[in-house]
Amino acid sequence: MDFKTFNFHPQVSAGVAAAGYTTPTPIQEQGIPPVMQGLDVMGLAQTGTGKTAAFALPILHRLMQGERGKVRALIVAPTRELAEQINEAITVLAKQTRLRSMTIYGGVNVNPQINKLKQGVEIIVACPGRLLDHIGQGTVDLSNLEVLVLDEADQMFDMGFLPDIRKILKNIPAKRQTLLFSATMPDDIRRLASEILTKPVTIQVGSTAPPVTVSHAIYPVAQHLKTALLLELLQHTDTESVLVFTRTKHRAKRLGEQLEKAGYKAASLQGNLSQNRRQAALDGFRDGSYQILVATDIAARGIDVSQISHVVNYDIPDTPEAYIHRIGRTGRAARSGDAFTLVTSEDTLMVRTIEKKLNAQIERRTIDGFDYSIPAPHKDSEFARPPQPPRNHAKKGTGKSGAPAVGSSRPDAAGKARPHTAKPAHPSSAPAARHPQRAPRAR
């Protein structure tokens, strides 16, 4: 099957060819026909499966007929990064159509958005908060809306956007086509789908489990030794690019600074940064300028980088679904990847919940030569222990598959690789530690 089968408008087909698309992905093959028929669709698929084109191409085909200069399609996304990613894809596919799209999100000057809206656009890709600001100020007219897309709906619920979504729904025509895409199907999504979708076609591609190309490992450790253990892992792991997840914005910033001081090309991606700095961090990670990106969960959906070799959960996520989203950033495009999670004794219940979701036990590991017995400093800070000098180890550990669990990457002064041993460990082997207070989620 190829894209010619869908009989897109010739100018849309020209965009498909220019984008280099030849064979539809499963979500495109199954999703495009019902969307082109005008049906409501609920699509279940992981990020990176090609679902943006699955809804963007039928929308472009539809908008080739009808009035220009009015907002006729609205795509709502949870993060600025994902909104930009969707808009970039639409811009490429719509190049021959003269259809115009734009992004709307907070953290940037509102005036350029207002000016662009006045000039007229057919497609808006928006984050909920700033879109509601425009609705409240009367700077956006959604009375001609024909298609609504809620992308990464489960993530929007995780980030507390459900009330905003309901407000948006009250300000758009009731008669419309609605498309809802989600990686998982929690109860909130089921309820919303039943409220806003009319006789939807449900499409599920793949499973809600992580890619089979990802190798999982858990490293039990006390909270105050997490940073030191992370540095030890990085010193002795063969990495290309590493995405590190933290629970809070403050911790992402501090950990990024610690990694820079330790000599790594690292950046942080979190909600307190200006949009320009967020974009610079993301672009630098994509082009290899940064080897390590430390991020809060805003990055779990908005990063489309195929060569991420490792995902490290510095803090264990709050839900098994969030774990799947995070580690789904590696092991993409048929490449192998590794997912390491640093856990304290307080994380035991969540570890069991994640293992139940995966229907498998995750291997526990420790690192030979690392001193797990160092007591917590008087000052309560997980960043208190400074980076330790590298140590040579005699053995190399192996994971479940028999392949080296952690390889060598950073040569020592003599140019030789520094291997280490990663041994299985029981989760109770981690010293008890106070669980950090969880901060509110960033929007």
Q: Is residue 11 part of a domain?
A: yes
Looking at the 3D structure of the chain, how many domains does it have? Answer: 2
In order, the DSSP letters of 278-302 are: HHHHHHHHHHTS-SEEEE-TTHHHH
396-419 core/surface letters (b: 16 or more CB in 10 A; e: else): bbebeeeeebbbbeeeeeeeeeeb
Same-domain check for residues 371 and 401? yes
Q: Is residue 322 part of a domain?
A: yes
Same-domain check for residues 24 and 123? yes
| Separation CA 227–CA 384 (nearest Å) | 9
27-42 residue pLDDT tens = 999 999 999 999 999 9
Same-domain check for residues 235 and 198? no
Same-domain check for residues 160 and 75? yes
Pull the structure tokens for residue 79.
């993060």
In order, the DSSP letters of 324-385 are: HHHHTTSS-TT--EEEEEEE-GGGHHHHHHHHHHHTSPPPBEEETT--TTPPPPSS--TT-S
CB-based burial label for 11 (10 Å; 0-12, 13-18, 19+): middle
Same-domain check for residues 186 and 237? no
Pull the structure tokens for residue 264.
């790594």
Least confident of 30-44, 174-188, 256-270: 174-188
| Residue 206's pLDDT band (cuts 50, 70, 90) | low
Same-domain check for residues 235 and 320? yes
128-150 residue pLDDT tens = 999 999 999 999 999 999 999 99
Q: If you count them, how many residues does the chain have?
A: 443
CATH code, domain with 193: 3.40.50.300
Same-domain check for residues 347 and 391? yes
| Separation CA 73–CA 198 (nearest Å) | 18
Work out whether the CA dihedral 187, 192, 198, 204 comes out positive or negative.
negative
Residue type (1 letter), 232:
E
Taking 70 as the threshold, does the pLDDT of residue 366 lie above it? yes
Average pLDDT, the chain: 82
Q: What's the pTM value of the predicted model, to 2 decimals?
A: 0.64
For 277, the enclosing helix (H) or strand (E) is: helix 275-287
**Crossing angle, helix 249-261 and helix 226-235, to 10 degrees?**
50
CB–CB of 350/205 below 8 Å? no
End-to-end CA distance of the chain: 40
The mean pLDDT of 369-393, rounded to a whole number, is: 65
- Left, alpha or beta for 69 (phi > 0: left; psi -120 to 50: alpha)? left
Same-domain check for residues 226 and 101? no
CB–CB of 151/82 below 8 Å? yes
Same-domain check for residues 425 and 352? yes
Q: What pLDDT does 424 receive? A: 52
253 phi and psi angles, rounded to 5 deg? -65, -50
Q: What pLDDT does 330 receive? A: 67
CATH code, domain with 403: 3.40.50
Same-domain check for residues 196 and 324? no
Same-domain check for residues 158 and 228? no
What residue numbers bound the domain in which 106 lies? Answer: 3-204
The mean pLDDT of 111-120, rounded to a whole number, is: 96
Q: Is residue 143 part of a domain?
A: yes
Q: Is residue 290 part of a domain?
A: no
| Residue 83, SS3 per DSSP | helix
Q: What pLDDT does 298 receive? A: 67
| Separation CA 443–CA 106 (nearest Å) | 10
Taking 50 as the threshold, does the pLDDT of residue 340 lie above it? yes
Least confident of 213-217, 244-248, 310-314: 213-217
The mean pLDDT of 192-203, rounded to a whole number, is: 91
Q: Is residue 280 part of a domain?
A: no
Q: What pLDDT does 439 receive? A: 44
